[in-house]
Amino acid sequence: MENAAEYTRRLVKHGARAHKSLGQNFLISDEVIEHIISASTLQPDVPLVEIGPGLGVLTRVLAPQVEKMWAVELDDHKISILNKELKGHPIELIHQDALKLDLKDLWGEKMGYLIGNLPYYITSPLIMHFLEQEKQLRGMTIMVQKEVADRIAASPGSKTYGILSIAVQISARVTKVMDVLPSAFWPAPKVTSAVIRLDLCSYPGFDMNRKDFFRVVKAAFSQRRKTLGNSLAGGLGIKKDDVIERMQSVGISASRRAESLSIEEFQVLSKAFL
């Protein structure tokens, strides 16, 4: 098999282009591809979907390892390249916006796995779109901007901890796999990337309606630099005295800042504002 860089070079020589507007930075590092695959739970009978296969550099290595896989790509030109290059593999190419993909349409009630070197312009919406399909998904290994990976994996007290950390961690266990330098891609992006693995699982002890929970989380982070007393009063449209009283009733000080609260504490706090 040609290595990733040779494969990409051949396709580029035959007219393949990278479209910036679609976030196209193609992997040319076999080492990174190996890490993505070894970090993932691939089993022949577990359905697999790849988001944004691009030229297929990862797809052609994944396909022989499973009985059936799907690859969802928005760019019609890449679909025609993939049709040619992946002939003979058990792959169904789907020419569609991944944000509109319903995994149930692919594999029904089974639980599958997702892999993707995600287009960076829609990383967070894509992650949230698939986390919402938790009944169809056991996990995902994804490449994202390092800065986004840091936010996803952040713990309370860190500067990068925020709504995205909480939204992901409430649905999945996060493992950082590796950082990836721009030189692993063609064309090289301006930023460093990172591979992370998300194992979907319900958060221990979390028993709230997510809408109620995130209404408070969003209000708490609406003015990050302010104390919770002020940011919640502003974000929820409640008098500050009332906020302080409700917070006192659940033992959380109104002078704390949103980034210091654990998910458990956010749950306690949210219940005070139901």
Which residues are part of a known binding site?
Answer: 25, 27, 52, 73, 97, 117
Show Cβ contacts of residue 36 under 8 Å, excluding neighbours closer than 6 positions.
58, 115, 117, 141, 143, 177, 195
By C-beta, is 122 or 238 nearer to ligand SAM? 122
d(Cα 89, Cα 80) in Å, to the nearest integer? 15
In sequence order, which residues have a C-beta less than 8 Å from that of residue 235 and are 6 or more positions away?
218, 219, 220, 222, 223
Sequence ranges of the binding site for S-adenosyl-L-methionine: 25, 27, 52, 73, 97, 117
Shortest separation between residue 56's beta carbon and ligand SAM, angstroms: 7
**Which DSSP state fits 102?**
-
One of 11, 46, 69, 74 touching ligand SAM (CB under 6 A): 74
Q: What's the Rg (C-alpha) of the chain?
A: 21
Decide: is 23 part of the binding site for ligand SAM (CB under 6 A). yes
Select 72 or 236, whichever has its Cβ closest to ligand SAM: 72
Establish if 69 lies at the interface with ligand SAM (CB under 6 A): no
Return the SS3 of 145.
strand
Calpha distance 95→141 (Å, rounded) = 21
Q: Phi and psi at residue 222, in whole multiples of 5°?
A: -65, -30
Segment interacting with ligand SAM, rule: CB under 6 A, options 41-49, 95-103, 155-163, 243-251: 95-103
In sequence order, the 6+-apart residues with CB closer than 8 A to the CB of 211 are none
Q: How far is the CB of 264 from ligand SAM (least distance, A)?
A: 35
Which of 53, 112, 139, 235 binds ligand SAM (CB under 6 A)? It is 53
- Cβ(185)–Cβ(167) below 8 Å: no
Q: How many residues make contact with ligand SAM (CB under 6 A)?
A: 24
- For residue 31, the minimal CB distance to ligand SAM (Å) is 13
Member of 7, 49, 73, 81 binding ligand SAM (CB under 6 A): 73
- Which residues contact ligand SAM (rule: CB under 6 A)? 22-27, 51-55, 57-58, 72-75, 78, 97-99, 117, 119, 122
